[in-house]
Amino acid sequence: MITAFGKSFHGPSALTRFVLLALLSAALMIFDHRGQQLQQLRAALMVVVYPIQVAAGIPVDVYNGLVAVFTTDKELKERNLALEVERQQLLVRLQQFEAIGRENDRLRAMLGAASRVADRVLVAELMEVSLEPFSRRLLIRRGARDGVYIGQPAIDAYGIVGQVTQVAPHVSTITLITDPSHAIPVLDNRSGLRTVAYGSGDQDELTVPYLSRVADIKEGDLLVSSGMGGVFPAGYPVATVTAIANDPREGFLRIRARPAAQLNHGKQVLLIQATPAAEKPKTP
Amino acid sequence: MNPGDPTRGRLILIAIFGVALLMNVLPGPTWAEPFIPDWVALTLIYWCMAAPQRISVGVGWTLGLLLDVLYGSLLGQHALAKAVIAFLTVRLHPQLRMFPRWQQAVSVFVLLVINQLIVTWIRGATDQAPGSAAYWTPSIVGMLAWPWLFVILRDLRRRWQLS
């Protein structure tokens, strides 16, 4: 960086260079905002900054290593036992789901609707770096080489995490559903009401604006993805409604919801890979 | 290589800015976010003040662009903000050097706020600006960190005869 600009000092004046660079920034921003042309430039620069990202993860790696060293046999056994119990419980529930799934397929076949294809997933480990302050994004150790693509939905064991917004060869960025720029089409699991949940920028809050004061939505309702928009597959938990403020002076309800996914303390996310059936969601 | 060697000085400066970039992306809990100053901006302000003939708008812009890539933000967003504060610091460096330390810290605060304002405006224009008041505390923390950072960087500069 210094080699590039330190030498050119005797060229144009500081003001000229400043104006030129400001115009260059403006051009970059316009192109980056409007389209995908700069994706390759970003991917190339991602490679340049990769050592910094790796170095930033070292403290966490060291901490995890120390935790592993000081974890006793007894703790491991206890944890193993707890996981075994949890696994049994999940398997029992899965038996029911498989029966229900088959029944659902038969019913759909009777209706002539396309049967739902089981989603294939790719496990992606999170990179321990913080991204832009006050935005809600994650960096994962999977990139274009692993088949990650822009718009790919990410989930964890509890619900929808977000979607891939930038892809480099080895890493990609996921924008969380809580990011202020993110919106996800949802369905009230109880009443079937369709709406859109927006990120609030807060670490565990979504907002559901523009619902009229008579809308059928209650505290504690589970919002699941509705599959509208074609980015997220239908039927995954998104958030639980935590508070509804009904102010007669305002036209709409003020609804807040807590994301179902563990957005802050996960170590990995699952990327759902599009299958031919999932790519073209049936329009209701 | 003797301490005043230009190649060596250049490498040391790259290392210092590399560490600053690293500190900006160190992982931490979300609640700690408001208390982490923009180390890159602070380091840039110091060097634009101490060595304006060497570190100025170009370096600021490059650092900002790298930060955009690290942050995954819109390309050019931090680049513009860093170029602006580098330009202002270089313009004002004779005064800034004369200021007593506390007054210098206040000026740094103003520069950090300008840096954040530019980023907020761009984020607001392109998608959604962060609304919370906590968004501005990093500039206050940066102002408080300035006197210490100043001493550290000045010692580095004298030891390696940078500038």
Name the band, by pLDDT with cuts 50, 70 and 90, for residue B117.
Answer: very high
Using the Cβ of A24 and the Cβ atoms of chain B, whether some distance falls under 8 Å is answered with yes
In one letter, which amino acid is A46? Answer: M
In this structure, are A128 and A258 located in the same domain? Answer: yes
Using the Cβ of B30 and the Cβ atoms of chain A, whether some distance falls under 8 Å is answered with yes
* Assigned domain for B14 exists: no
Using the Cβ of A54 and the Cβ atoms of chain B, whether some distance falls under 8 Å is answered with no
Output the pTM of the full model.
0.82
* Assigned domain for A88 exists: no
In this structure, are A184 and A64 located in the same domain? Answer: no
* Position B136 pLDDT exceeds 70: yes
Q: Could you report the per-residue pLDDT of B60-96, keeping only the tens digit for each?
A: 999 999 999 999 888 999 999 999 999 999 999 999 9
In this structure, are A165 and A46 located in the same domain? Answer: no
Q: Is A227 left (phi over 0), alpha (psi -120 to 50) or beta?
A: left
* Assigned domain for A78 exists: no
Using the Cβ of B55 and the Cβ atoms of chain A, whether some distance falls under 8 Å is answered with yes
Q: Higher pLDDT residue, B38 or A103?
A: B38
Q: Which CATH number fits the domain that encloses residue A173?
A: 2.40.10.340
Contact: B66, A49; criterion CB under 8 Å: yes
Contact: B127, A181; criterion CB under 8 Å: yes
In this structure, are A39 and A161 located in the same domain? Answer: no
By residue range, what is the domain housing residue A202?
A: 117-275
* Token pair listed for B89: 């610091």
pLDDT per residue, tens digit, chain A (284 aa), is 444 444 444 557 888 999 999 999 999 999 888 877 788 888 889 888 989 988 988 888 898 889 888 888 888 899 999 999 999 999 998 888 888 888 888 888 887 766 565 678 899 988 888 888 888 888 999 998 999 998 999 999 889 999 998 888 888 999 999 988 899 999 999 999 999 999 888 878 899 988 888 889 999 999 999 988 888 988 899 999 999 988 888 888 889 999 999 887 778 899 998 764 444 444 43
Total of domains in chain A = 2
- For an interface test with A, the pick among B71, B85, B90 (most A C-beta atoms closer than 10 Å) comes out as B71
Res A128: pLDDT? 82
* Assigned domain for A6 exists: no
In this structure, are A35 and A174 located in the same domain? Answer: no
Res A279: pLDDT? 45
* Assigned domain for B21 exists: no
Name the band, by pLDDT with cuts 50, 70 and 90, for residue B3.
Answer: low
